[in-house]
Amino acid sequence: MRKVNQERFEERQRHIREAALACFRRSGFHQASMADICAEAQMSAGNLYRYYDSKEAIIAAICEHDRQEVTERFESMQGKPDLFAAMLEMSGEAMDASAQLEKSKFGVEVLSEAMRNERVAEIVRRHHQALLEVCANALAQAQAMKFIDPTLDPKLAATVLIAAGEGLGFKLALHRDLDAKQCAETFKTLILRFLRPQI
């Protein structure tokens, strides 16, 4: 595929993902139909199905896009003199993103659908596993540089931190009276105290 055609193909995929997200946020994953997504994207069904053959395929693509962004953020930390400080900064950015109402609503919708749709459940499990591996690898590197507690199991520590971050993000989305900035700072303190090498 020529570069111009590839770029156009990827742009159309992005357009469909954004249209689907709008539908999922408005109607919920279960209620939103492929016809709704076609209307939102202003595309015919035949054209849209050239890019994604189902709602599940769109969800998988959204998750993969998210994984790529997280991986790139972790990769950008490589070579920084204080890897732990860079990880704390990244955790604050991630918390700011997860506190966004629309992002949290989508996350809840997908998790809810995963409880009754095995195809979506498998997509979510693969997505979580990919993010877990990226995070665990970063923690292991920080341990090797003696920035964090070497007695921690990187994978288990990453699991706990990801779960805590997701939970706080949902809490911020539901309780708009909470101060997101203060919560993010407190979350970074939690990370600092949890990962700090024990004396």
pLDDT of 70 strictly over 70: yes
Residues 183 and 85 in one domain: yes
Tokens of 60: 């998988």
Residues 138 and 61 in one domain: yes
Residues 148 and 172 in one domain: yes
Taking residues 70-74, report their average pLDDT: 77
Domain count, the chain: 2
pLDDT band at 57 (very low <50, low <70, confident <90, very high): very high
Residues 76 and 7 in one domain: no
Collect all residues with Cβ–Cβ distance below 8 Å to 160 and sequence separation of at least 6: 194
Residues 91 and 127 in one domain: yes
Tokens of 180: 């997101």
Residues 139 and 156 in one domain: yes
pLDDT of 4 strictly over 60: no
Tokens of 14: 């992005």
**Which domain CATH number covers 80?**
1.10.357.10
Nearest 5°: the CA angle 129, 182, 164 is 20
The pLDDT tens digits for 75-118 are: 777 666 676 777 777 776 766 666 566 677 777 778 888 888 89
Tell me, what's the pLDDT at 41?
Answer: 95
pTM, two decimals, is 0.76
Residues 191 and 178 in one domain: yes
- Expressed as residue numbers, the domain containing 20 is 1-53
**Which domain CATH number covers 47?**
1.10.10.60
Distance CA(8)–CA(5), nearest Å, equals 5
Residues 32 and 88 in one domain: no
Nearest 5°: the CA angle 110, 162, 80 is 125
